Amino acid sequence: MAGDHAELIVTGIARYSLGLVSPAEEAVMTANSAEIAADSLFILILKAFASGCTALTGVEAVSNGVLNFREPAPKHAKKVLLAMAGFVCVIFFGVSLLITLYKIVPTEDATAVSLLAASVFGKGSPMFYVTQVMTVVILSLAANTAFADLPLLMSLIAGHGYLPKQLVNRGSRLNFSNGILFLFGMASVLVFIFRGSQHLLLPLYASGVFISFFLSQFGMFTHWRRQKGPHWKFKAAVNGFGSVLTGTVLIIIVIMKFTCGAWVALLLIFLFILIMRSIKRHYDRVREDLALPSAESALAELNRDKTARVIIPVQSLNKSFIKTLNCALSCGFSSMELYSVCSTPEQAENLRKQVEALGVDCEFRYNITTLRNTSEVLLNHIRQEADARENERLIVMMGGLVVTSPFARILHNSLTHRLIRKMETYRNVYVFSVPYVVE
């Protein structure tokens, strides 16, 4: 791909040097347009500088993926970064030179690269189409860079507690699947909002990338000042110059591209910072709540009392209920209660007789309701039992069906899962689900 653009540059310079081409007619400036350009030269330079700096986006992928390099990782990453910087300089300045020599002006129907390829190779020639295809491939790989590196960066941030811990986990293919899915969702939203226009999305992307450039340079500058070490003054000077340069570029891009979409990046960054700080505070509160300061406090929390009361909700006698009952009996609980919410006294009496026929030492209790939600009745009963037995462990065991068909999963256990999620919020209640596999 780099070779394709290199061939374009070499061929273009050679043809121009031999006088085989003439500048594009559309680009010949009139005296009036030249006068207007002279009056706004400073603004044009800043705008061109802001647009040109977007060509540097992508080199941050190397720094984000240092952990993926073979040891010594920093040394290998440095080589790749230098090679990438060399390619970027050659291609960027070469294409810029050709655009100046051939006086290429992009239009709404064609990009500068496609017009340049048409001028150098001839429109409709094989090399013209090769250049177009290679440009599409380069842009596709550039889009893939974010999916390869941002999930890795998010996993590092999540490891420090500023993003959900699920982003730390790798999927079955050893990639950060949750981060990839999150990026896919956010990218889809942006593509939909900006109608897939790269001219609208590029300022947003460039401002975000140069914010990361500036922060990384300034962070390394601060690191060398604090940690010092061998030749730290030279290293700090390099990163200090980099922070000034990238900070200047960032200011120019934000000013020149603010109304073109840079404001969206700034707004999203501000919102993400607030969300990340909120996530960090939540994890800190959870850690403080779970922490045991000493072994003595752990012994104080440990309940060695074997007495516990178990409640098993029952609607009918079936194999799932029997398996749940067997599990409760094998645990040796001190007391057991079978609780049912019935719609008629006859249904309750029928169920009571079936339970008594089992010959199990347990208490059967029921509640009759025809109007109220049965889940609400069950939850109220468990809450009352938990409040009345603060010094006794209350365990709720519920049977759940396990089906292998993906379609059948949505047809079962929705009520059981809702009840379990609700009861898990009760501080003094332990909830167990006993699975029963349906063949």
> Does residue 76 lie in a domain region?
yes
Q: How far apart are CA 211 and CA 305, in angstroms?
A: 58
> Does residue 271 lie in a domain region?
no
Beta partners for residue 396, in sequence order: 311, 431
> Does residue 297 lie in a domain region?
no
Q: How far apart are CA 145 and CA 123, in angstroms?
A: 31
Which single residue is written with the structure tokens 């332990």? 430
- Choose among 354, 347, 353: nearest CA to 370: 347
**Boundary residue ending a domain (151, 168, 197):** 151
Q: How far apart are CA 395 and CA 336, in angstroms?
A: 9
Count CB atoms within 10 A of the CB of residue 246.
22
**Boundary residue ending a domain (118, 151, 184):** 151
> Does residue 188 lie in a domain region?
no
Contact at 8 Å (CB) between 8 and 131?
yes
> Does residue 52 lie in a domain region?
yes
CATH assignment at residue 332: 3.40.50.620
> Does residue 17 lie in a domain region?
yes
Contact at 8 Å (CB) between 225 and 233?
no
Number of alpha carbons in the 13 Å side-chain half-sphere of residue 87? 13
Residue 81's domain comprises 1-151
**Boundary residue ending a domain (151, 173, 188):** 151
Q: Which helix (H) or strand (E) holds 433?
A: strand 429-437
> Does residue 39 lie in a domain region?
yes
The confidence score (pLDDT) of residue 277 equals 92
> Does residue 145 lie in a domain region?
yes
Q: How far apart are CA 240 and CA 253, in angstroms?
A: 20
Q: Please tell me the total count of domains within the chain.
A: 2
Q: How far apart are CA 95 and CA 99, in angstroms?
A: 6
Count CB atoms within 10 A of the CB of residue 260.
19
DSSP, residue by residue, 117-164: HHHHH-TTSHHHHHHHHHHHHHHHHHHHHHHHHHHHHHHHHHHTTSS-
- Interacting residues of 247 by C-beta distance below 8 A, sequence separation 6+: 214, 218
DSSP state, 70? P
Q: What is the pLDDT along the chain (439 residues), one digit of tens a residue?
A: 455 566 667 777 777 666 666 555 444 444 444 455 555 666 666 666 666 666 666 666 676 667 777 888 888 888 888 888 788 788 878 887 887 787 777 777 777 778 888 877 877 788 888 888 887 787 777 777 777 778 888 888 888 889 888 888 777 666 788 888 888 888 888 888 877 776 677 777 777 777 877 888 898 899 988 888 788 888 899 889 888 888 887 887 778 777 776 777 778 888 989 999 999 998 888 888 777 666 655 555 555 555 678 888 888 888 888 888 888 888 877 788 898 888 888 888 888 888 888 888 888 888 887 766 778 888 888 888 888 877 777 888 888 877 777 766 666 667 777 888 888 888 778 888 888 887 6
The alpha carbon of residue 320 and the mean position of all alpha carbons in its chain are separated, in whole angstroms, by 39
